[in-house]
Amino acid sequence: MRVNGPNEWADHREWLATRIAPVELAGFAELDRGRLTRSLAAISAALSDGHGAHIAAGVVRGELDHGGSPRADDLLRTHLAIALAARTTEIRDITPDGALAVTNRRQAAECRALATEILALSPDPQLIAFATDLHHRLDRAQRWRWVEPDVWTAAIVGLAVLVLPFVGSVVGSAAVTAGGVLVGGGLVFGFVMAHRKRQWAVDERSAAGTAFRRPGS
């Protein structure tokens, strides 16, 4: 599967369509033929439209709940994994260069839950590889990043850290000096925490300033 192409979601949708194994419905009992037909229709519609994967997943779950032959259930589990994989792309944003990106905490949590469920379904190896790669992407999205501070903010904090203890030493007050050191330390701590962001939060800030697009929009 190509990634980070001109439109990762479009590439991803085309790739998922290839994961739908051809099914010879005549080889199944009538009950299973109906289950598989409805499942295939829901998955195909979701991949064709570029949205509605959660609806397709609901349809497939319903067919699995109805029960049938083990062979049909195996196919339905793969269909469900495909729908869940499609859902992971629908809930992410698309950057201006076409890559999929997690830009908030909700997306990260939902994508991780979906990837975990795909792995639990034990579908084909390529879908397992997709879910594993998504877990790695989400791990990277959770990493801390240093965000370049505003020059004036950095200058003010730096000046305060230097001046406050100096004032205490000038007036000859140990209490003022100690207070200045504590205040300066607090300012530095707050400054560092304010400019230490998760990768997804950095991407979220980028999304606010650029034209991130939702899949299917």
| One-letter amino acid for residue 60 of the chain | V
DSSP letter (8 states) at residue 195: T
C-alpha distances in Å from residue 115, one per residue of 14, 23, 87, 132, 161: 19, 25, 10, 7, 46
Q: How much is the pLDDT for 2?
A: 38
* pTM summary value: 0.72
pLDDT in tens, the chain (217 residues): 333 445 787 888 889 998 888 888 888 999 999 999 999 999 999 998 878 899 999 999 999 998 899 999 999 999 999 999 999 989 888 877 777 888 888 888 999 999 999 999 977 899 999 999 898 888 887 765 545 555 545 455 455 555 555 555 555 666 655 655 565 555 555 545 554 555 555 555 555 545 455 555 5
Give the end-to-end CA distance of the chain in Å, rounded to a whole number. 22
Three-state secondary structure of 19-37: CCCCCCHHHCCHHHHHHHH
**Residue of 201, 11, 10, 7 lying closest to 107 (CA atoms):** 201
Q: How much is the pLDDT for 117?
A: 95
Distance CA 48, CA 211 (A): 24
Contact predicate 115/135, CB 8 Å:
yes
Q: How much is the pLDDT for 45?
A: 92
pLDDT in tens, 117-135: 999 997 789 999 999 989 8
**Residue of 129, 146, 157 lying closest to 198 (CA atoms):** 146
Q: How much is the pLDDT for 144?
A: 56
Q: How many CA atoms lie within 13 A of 199 on its CB side?
A: 10
